[in-house]
Amino acid sequence: MITNYVIEPHWANWILTLEMFAAGLAAGIFFFIALANIAGDKEDREVAARLGFLPAPLMVVVAVLLIVDLGQPGRFLNLLFTSPIAAERPGPFMFNPNSPMNWGTWIIAVFGIMTVVPFFDGLLHTGRLRILPGLVETLAHNPVGMAVAALFALATGSYSGVLLNVSNQNVWADTYILGGLYVVFSALSGFAAAAIVSDRMRATRTAGAARSGLLATAALAGVLVALFVANLSALGQAEPLISSGTALVAPVFWIGVVGLAILYPIVTIAAGPRLAFSRVSLSQLAVVGTIVLVGVLAFRWSLLHSALAAVAH
């Protein structure tokens, strides 16, 4: 009988899976945009401007999914501002440093506002709308500003992993790798999206950077997943990832996460033709990107459902 853990079945659902996927993707894409603006060339910035259309709508999707999940949009303000009813808490702003959900609320709020900059930069670059062009240009291409924005993007990618760690649920509670895993899978989805958009724009040079980023991030994800499984095995809690019965967590984890998100890009990119200039296979990279996105979705789903699978076991 498992008595040191509790069961919270309400977290294992598709709404939260998609919410975490969308937030991670927005953060990963923003991370790529920041890199392109800090270290890229003209073509990279063109691709970054197109990618800039994605984070803001994705964050709107995140907000809508959260509202659907909680069903109480008005009360979201209680996460940011201290309710007059909660008179025990000091100050007008709600901040509980022990709660990763509160950290996440503030991080997401700031990041959500930041996503407006690349969105307007995209409008500017495509000539669709010119709102304060000087300001948008400065904000979107200033390396220091972009570095700060990249930090918020990475924090957005990681906080939900830390949030799951700070619980008393099976699988999540006794490891401390989830924050790292979540930020790496978030970046992986960003590079995957960049690979797809580079293909659409026939931007071969940017595709080279997306390819290198995909390879390095998939390798890093592989290291962290190995550490995660080893850590859980040492704790005697790896069972749901090995055979989770009807919960399907184990096959989704090994095929989706390990197979599609990690091994497939490593093998395809390392063994495939070099994506540089005349030897580019852009469409192949776009396929890799699409499959990696499916793998990242599998990651979100299997991690959320693993705690429940441990109980069902």
Partner 1 sequence: MATATKGMFVDTTLCTGCKACQVACKQWNELPMDDETAVREHRAFTANSYDNTGHLSASNWRHVKFVEQFSEDRVDARWLMMSDSCKHCEQAGCLEVCPTGALYRTQHGSVDIHQDVCIGCRYCVGACPFGVIDYNQRTGRVNKCILCQDRLEDSQGTACAKACPTSSLTFGNVDDLKAMAAERVRALHARGQTDAYIYGWDLGNRGTITQGPNKGAAVADMEVVGGLNVFYLLLDKPEVYSLPSSPQLPQRNMNPSAGVALISAAVLGVTGLAAFRRRRMEAVAASSEVSS
Q: Report the site for partner 1 in 231-270 (rule: CB under 8 A).
A: none
Of the candidate residues 18, 26, 117, 184, the single one contacting partner 1 (CB under 8 A): 184
How crowded is residue 76: how many other Cβ atoms within 10 Å of its Cβ? 15
With tokens 């709508």, the residue in question is 57
Cβ proximity to partner 1, 97 vs 134, nearer residue: 97
Question: Residue 175 and residue 312: Cα distance in Å, rounded?
Answer: 20
* Six token digits for residue 126: 């495509």
Chain-centroid distance of CA 273 in Å reads 28
DSSP 2: -
Of the candidate residues 108, 139, 178, 282, the single one contacting partner 1 (CB under 8 A): 178
Cβ proximity to partner 1, 52 vs 120, nearer residue: 52
With tokens 């890199």, the residue in question is 35
- For residue 28, the minimal CB distance to partner 1 (Å) is 10
Binding flag, residue 148, partner 1 (CB under 8 A): no
Binding flag, residue 301, partner 1 (CB under 8 A): no
Binding flag, residue 134, partner 1 (CB under 8 A): no
Per-residue binding letters, 66-105, with partner 1 (x by CB under 8 A): ----xxx--xx-xx--xx-xx-xx----x-x-xxxxx--x
**Binding to partner 1 in span 198-217, by CB under 8 A:** 205, 208-210, 212-213, 216-217
* Six token digits for residue 160: 């939900």
DSSP 98: T
DSSP codes joined into one string, 241-259? HH--GGG-HHHIIIIIIII
Give the DSSP H/E element, type plus range, for residue 122.
helix 116-125
**Binding to partner 1 in span 29-58, by CB under 8 A:** 31-32, 35-36, 38-41, 44
